[in-house]
Structure 1
């Protein structure tokens, strides 16, 4: 009996020691988990800051083109308003006659006589047509400026979360719209069906596609300056690939040295001359796509230029 009791005490002592050890390990594990969660939040905030910083850098690149795109409709808005100011006196004279006749300050015969005098110096039919054209032009110009500004604000505004479902073709067209001025010297070909849905942060995907486009445009311009090509071309195609979509951006630009290919997604690595690139463009693209469980690869074409391939999961919503 005494032997059983001693064995019980030894077992109890071992169990107590094990429970103490387990409690200590659990406390340490909990503390490490809390610290890991804090670091994860910090990392996410830093990543958001990097993406936002790259957006601002991209906006700086786009600023000249955006100013040009706004200046065009603004120019004919200004011109139309100047034309309208010339018509103001004629229109006012007509309206004053109508008001006087309505309040019976002038008779029918006087109204007709005054209208005949005005018609000798003013082509009424031309005035009516011009006013209609001016109105349509002004509405179109304001709508165009409003659209440009809306696209910029949607792109530049920092967002903690804008998770949604959207079509790939919308993202590509939105990206191309923001780069409209830079793409004027480039032949852009797009092959993509509607209904190709993905989910995630639409503004961040637009940021990624803009960075890819900008690199392709710069490569095409450099090839043209060196007389390697006569016309820059970017062909974007989207194909259904099972659970994913395969998006390819193929240009006929200057290409990239094979030694540089393995490093293009590294932060601060740039093939551009000092001061012309941040070295964060493709690194940010890589991070954005990784957050969307997508992959990106880059390779030189056999004949000319580069092909960037993005494989992104289909929406499951």
Structure 2
């Protein structure tokens, strides 16, 4: 039997524990959750009747925290951690066995443990809400940035089209007039090549700005993907890279702009070729179900650095050396996919490389 003084002492320990746990949760840094949970575990250890023999475990899918072990076998009190009415983990408080039995725990200790688990569950809920809010904020910022850049690039594209056409036209006239001057003809060829390259950049800008007219019709996606890969056979052979194409059906129909879909496949496979080492394989997979078409393109290259992944669809961002990429290819792909109400995701391949996965809804 407990004396009144002993009972009061135990209630003070329990209230102190609840106060400390509440303080830890209120001041918790969501980026350093482990420190807060460790503090909660230590509070529980001090709150139990036989605190010098108390052992505490806190387990969730992301964290596994425990105090110093006091034995090999234990008798435990435990309570579940729930967040959004779903189980997220458990907290166990134990005494060494067979020195202690379940009857050595106090009824109030189970209530305390249940209350702490409820508070930890609320903490996990708030962390998840904050992460979702941050994700939505980034998506809104990305959409605003792309919208503004779309307006800017549309203007740039229109302004550049006329002078580029003039450069190409007058260069062709000069080639006809110069005649046999080999060096001059060689220089004019360089002008033509660079002007054509610039015109292609302008086309990509117009794709990105959604200024290119669309003609959507029901097409067989299998044929479009095969044609795009065929156009790159010479490049594949020169780089000593293989490309396989697997499809669940010979006919996969989708209402989409054929030219834009070709642009998407061409850009993604070209990127894969650029980063693929010799003797490696690019795998293209096309799957179809009742409501969507899924296209994935996987390479065996070095992969995309983790810090670059959030920016790969940003206009003018490139991981290629200066002069080897305009930084518009993936922006164009992203814009085309979004204009068709689709989605595009990037993930690491196993053991090395990158996988781009595109989904287009069937309409």
Q: Under TM normalisation by the shorter chain, which class is it? A: 0.3 to 0.5
Higher Rg of the two aligned structures: 1
Q: TM-score, length-normalised on structure 1?
A: 0.47
TM-score, length basis structure 2: 0.42
Which has more helix, going by share of residues?
A: 1
Give the number of the structure whose residues are more often strand, by fraction.
Answer: 2
